[in-house]
Amino acid sequence: MGMTSLVVPTYIGEMASVDIRGALGSGFQLMVVVGILYAYLFGAVIDNWRLLAVVCAIPSVIYGLLAFFVKESPTYLLTRGKEKEARQALQALRGKEYNIESEFKRLCETQEALTRNHMTWRDLKQPHILKPVVICLMVMVFQQSSGVNAVLFNLGTIFKEAGVGMAENISAIVVGTVQVVATGIAAPLLDRAGRKILLTGSAAVMALSHSTCGASISKEQSTLLSAYYLFNVSTMH
């Protein structure tokens, strides 16, 4: 999963055309939350964790088999000097009837520019390079520090201990469904509404949700949630 989380967004960014790159990029996160909901649904009806692991392995097996038929990224092939293979890969990705010449030319020019301007760690001293790097890192730090993984991986236990009056499995499914719906709504809006407004809006809703949760649960339950979060951060991050 660690390798996939790194490779898939990079691959999508390199193979997708500019006009749909944002929407396709969000497809990765959409499938992540669909997978989480998939596990919640089967976890609600399967008591044996070994059988649940087998059921959850099915998408991974299908994914592994289909990966053999995926074309290599044209950008990657160009970095290896394989211009002919890069052209063939781009044509296969766009379709036989699509004229790739202008797009392929831009790819070659971009790669040549990157080759001429090879970056090193020393280049981080330059403000126009350092600022985007810091912004990117801080967005990810804040996103992970929200505790999303700690909560998602322990939803059943959290809802049971919180005494919400709903079966913990059903509560987990509700949360998983909300994630799928929210991600599905964000996907088509990514290229229309823009990135900043979606980042700001989602961060505001997360802050409101955390505040509401903190104000409504007891001190003992709050301590439990904090323990779950700290444990997962220490073992996963």
Spans of the chain, pLDDT less than 50: 231-237
- DSSP labels, 17-33: -GGGHHHHHHHHHHHHH
Specify the pLDDT at position 236. Answer: 42
pLDDT of residue 216: 63
- The pLDDT score that the predictor gives to residue 73 is 87
Structure tokens of 75? 């950008």
C-alpha pair distances (Å), 91 with each of 3, 85, 141, 188, 237: 27, 10, 38, 26, 40
Give yes or no for a contact between 40 and 169, defined as CB atoms under 8 angstroms apart.
yes
Predicted confidence at residue 235, as pLDDT, reads 44
Whole-number pLDDT of residue 29: 83
Q: Give the pLDDT confidence score for residue 232 in this predicted structure.
A: 47
pLDDT at residue 234, rounded to an integer: 44
Write down the pLDDT at residue 204: 86
What pLDDT score was predicted for residue 55? 94
pTM (2 d.p.): 0.72
Give the tens place of pLDDT for each residue, 200-226. Answer: 888 888 788 777 766 766 555 555 555
72: its two tokens = 């290599």
Considering only CA atoms, which of 34, 33, 53 is closest in space to residue 43? 53
Predicted pLDDT of residue 61? 93
Cα gap 211→228, rounded to integer Å: 17
